[in-house]
Amino acid sequence: METEEFKITGKEVKAALKTSFPIMVTFLVLGSGYGILMEKHGFGPLWSVLSGIVIFSGTVQFVSISMLGTGSFIMAALTAFMVSARHAFFSISMIGRYRKEGKRKWYLYYALCDETYAMLSSDNCPEGVNKSGHRLLVTLFDQSSWVIGSFLGGVMGTYLNFDSTGIDFSMTALFTTVFIQQWLDAKNHTPAILGLGATLLCRIIFGTDLFLIPAMIIIIGTLTLARGKIEPEKEVHNG
């Protein structure tokens, strides 16, 4: 298969920085919070960097801190798998666009987080900028800002003695904001209501330590089975 033309010049770098800048700032801040929490749980800056490279999922990384601190490695791995399962669907939807990226496509799939997907899924590359180079740089800048933020947070946590209580709420605040915005933008609230209901039910049944995986199983399974009923309703409302 023919590989898409690839080049990186100052034009590509400038365009990618402009596209990624809002996410980079956010990732530096949130990544710093993650690094601080990792250090407070006994994991140094290099562990934060390794986590950002291997896992690269803010939600999973924040959630798994306490599990790793208590030695619950199996639970941490299962949680990471369930929470990040959506990334597989992101990658599947980008297969057509990345099919000519050659070996670069494997990194593009691997580092396709929620925010990068939101920026690249429209495939609106600035005029005169190499599309392949732009995709790679946007993806790289996003992940690099998270990894750098995590390292800086780990260093700050090592040298600064302060109460880190509440830092882990940053991801909760972020996703609460995203949820509210999506609720306001969407006309079909069935998936959101299902997610809230399943989470609350599993929280009551399984408790605070074990509710996440059962809730994810229920949500994914129900949405898959009800897809035929949910999507037509969405199309009608949006039409």
d(CA 209, CA 107): 33
Residues 41/165, Cβ–Cβ less than 8 Å: no
Band (pLDDT 50/70/90 cuts) for residue 174 is low
Band (pLDDT 50/70/90 cuts) for residue 125 is confident
- The type of residue at 129 is V
**Tokens coding 26:** 């956010």
The average confidence (pLDDT) of the chain is: 80
pLDDT of 161 over the 80 cut = no
Q: Which residues of 49-78 are buried (b: 16+ CB within 10 A; e: fewer)?
A: bebbeeebbbbbbbbbbebbeeeeeebbee
Tell me, what's the pLDDT at 237?
A: 39
More confident residue, 130 or 59: 130
Residues 154/35, Cβ–Cβ less than 8 Å: yes
Residues 20/138, Cβ–Cβ less than 8 Å: yes
Q: Is 187 exposed, middle or buried (0-12, 13-18, 19+ CB in 10 A)?
A: exposed
pLDDT of 206 over the 90 cut = no
DSSP helix, strand, coil percent of the chain (3-state; round to 5): 75, 0, 25
d(CA 49, CA 195): 31
d(CA 118, CA 66): 29
**Tokens coding 61:** 């990384």
Average pLDDT over residues 120-141: 88
d(CA 203, CA 187): 27
Question: Which pTM value belongs to this model?
Answer: 0.69
Tell me, what's the pLDDT at 11?
A: 92
d(CA 173, CA 118): 19
DSSP string, 166-226: TTTHHHHHHHHHHHHHHHHH-S--HHHHHHHHHHHHHHHHH-TTTSHHHHHHHHHHHHHHT
Average pLDDT over residues 89-111: 86
Q: What is the pLDDT of residues 47-72, one digit of tens each?
A: 999 988 988 887 778 877 767 766 66
Residues 194/214, Cβ–Cβ less than 8 Å: no
